[in-house]
Copies of this chain bind each other. A is one copy, B any other.
């Protein structure tokens, strides 16, 4: 088995990792640390958290392959898109899917990300 690097634990719970790395692939999960009721603001914050997780592994957003986004209100997807469009690097466009799902507590967005490192 290839060596697995586990970074963490998660800031949310001691029973899961914040990121895992194997064979040049990294997976990580990010939610907003602020629970503001604005999806735009939570998305901006979750993307900041994501960048922090990548930086911990010596990576950055240029290696992001896929962002799977779950948002609590699909009707507000425009707010998610606005934060995304302001953040995204046109030279390194990730693949992205964004669907509506129920999230815990006051979370409005959750990002499950695969990156190359």
Contact = CB atoms under 8 A, between A and B. Distances in A.
Interface residues of A, number: 52
A95 B1 contact: no
A96 B106 CA distance: 18
Copies of this chain, how many?
A: 3
Nearest to A65: B20
B99 A101 contact: yes
Nearest to A77: B104
Interface in A66-117: 66, 68, 70, 74, 77, 81, 84-85, 88, 90, 92-104, 110, 112, 114, 116-117
Contacts of A27: 65-66, 95, 114
A116 B65 contact: no
A29 interface: yes
Given A16-B94, A99-B101, A117 B9 contact: no
3 closest residue pairs by CB, A with B: A100-B102, A74-B102, A99-B101
